[in-house]
Amino acid sequence: MYLQEYLIFLAAIVVCMIFAGYASYRVKVAFAKHDRVRASSGLTGRETAERLMRSGGISDIKVGKTHGKLTDHYHPTKKIVNLSQSTYDNDSVAAVAVAAHEIGHVMQKKKGYVFYNLRTFLVPVVNFGSHLAMPLVLVGLIIDLLSLAANPSLGFYIALVGVALYGGTFVFALVTLPVELNASRRAKEMLIAQGVLSQEQIDGAGEVLSAAALTYLASMLTSLVYFLRFLTRVLVLFGRRK
């Protein structure tokens, strides 16, 4: 029984790894393809980010440069949008699409986008919960084995709290998906509205952003598989003695 369960888990993880690899490949191919096409406005990633923030009435966010390729990210607490070397001084369709995506996150924060706020709230909760998940399951097992409580199900309930905390990683990945998709939608709207890309070029930008979204989908599916594996093991551990 255990071997069958483990083989199913292993097969699911292999499928997730293949999908993640495919998503990563799609991002690289899409970026390389549209990195050869110059944006109609001639703006670089940095200039695009600055223009979009000005048009959105944002003046307190800086645009910085970070090492690597496609390592772009928005750091809200430090009030900075860090653009990678492949984006910062690059005036290609791919580069301005990535830069606009990060400004999409800036606009989400400004406008109070519900899923963005939820993801922000979940960050410390997930970090805290991931450290407590396994200890709570172990405490639940000990109580269940030694029958230290008047309520014989107490150990099981404590273990389930640990499972729920472990599941926070999946919930975070699940919430991240609409956040990223919404940021990409905002990016395309801003690129057209501010004349950074022509109508003909916006499809190329969308291709880059859609490929990037696949990586978040792969991450969510992987988190789901690990959560289901953890839940199954806890249920089996308790179920064998009941």
pTM, 2 dp: 0.88
| Residue 207: active-site member | no
Between 154 and 50, whose confidence is greater?
A: 50
Which candidate in 5, 47, 50, 102 is catalytic?
Answer: 102
Q: SS in 3 state form for the chain?
A: CHHHHHHHHHHHHHHHHHHHHHHHHHHHHHHHHHCCCECCCCCCHHHHHHHHHHHCCCCCCEEEEECCCCCCEEECCCCEEEEECCCCCCCEHHHHHHHHHHHHHHHHHHHCCHHHHHHHHHHHHHHHHHHHHHHHHHHHHHHHHHCCCCCCCHHHHHHHHHHHHHCHHHHHHHHHHHHHHHHHHHHHHHHHHCCCCCCCCHHHHHHHHHHHHHHHHHHHHHHHHHHHHHHHHHHHHHHCCC
pLDDT at 4 over 60: yes
Q: How confident is the model at residue 65 (pLDDT cuts 50, 70, 90)?
A: very high
pLDDT in tens, 120-179: 999 998 888 878 888 888 888 788 777 665 666 788 888 889 999 999 999 999 999 999
Q: Domain segments of the chain: what residues?
A: 2-239
